[in-house]
Structure 1
Amino acid sequence: MSNETLNSKCPSCGAPSTQPIILEECSRTKSNIIESFDSIISTCITPNKLEEFHNDGIPEDPCMYCEYNKITEIPGSFVKMQQGASINSWLEVHVCPNCKTKYSADPQINATQKLCN
């Protein structure tokens, strides 16, 4: 999703377009507290792998498959990309969370258009 889409709005109700958000929380840490990296690593079951990932960005995030990693996905309005009018253009398809209108957003010209459901 492009930065321009963040300025687009539902053509029916005017609600802003939103992108998906993925939140991760370790169930081994204290709840309802924003943890520092040091406190997270102190409760981690694979601290060496987590530290390597944190410092080097490689290999894969060890939290991804950890049994203690609680993942919450907030879908946002974005659904998929769709071919635009020309071969080099793409549209972003959204479904408004407020009024359920399906619409396309063209970030190149900052325009939205209601789609048939």
Structure 2
Amino acid sequence: MLGILVLKGPAVTYQKVNTEMVNDRAKLLMHRLVARRISQQPELIETVKRTLSTGPRSLSSSQEWLEILDRTPEEVRKMITSRSSQMTRLRVSSPFFSVADLKDPTIRKRVWKIAKKGKTPKMRTPVYGE
């Protein structure tokens, strides 16, 4: 069971962490990193499209991702960082993780720690490769 200790005056309480919410926040933060990377390397979109096009089409989300990736880099950046229910659902099967160097356990652990705090801050400090 995951949780955090909260100091409130002289009392210490234990609050259970909603793992699903933390994971959703972490995925959003990771996609913010991807969006930043796309602004520097728009060709990343083409790499992801090739990966999706050559991979198995068994995922129903593959077609939705291809439709998103057919947009301008700026639109892709806005969409992948959107808090909409569609994007929350699609981030679960994101094709970006395989090509955006986000498999590094150190990066994932750092992002998860930030997400666990209950916030999705604007990423002002570099997390990787910047």
Larger strand fraction of residues: 1
Larger helix fraction of residues: 2
The TM-score normalised by the length of structure 1 is 0.21
The TM-score normalised by the length of structure 2 is 0.20
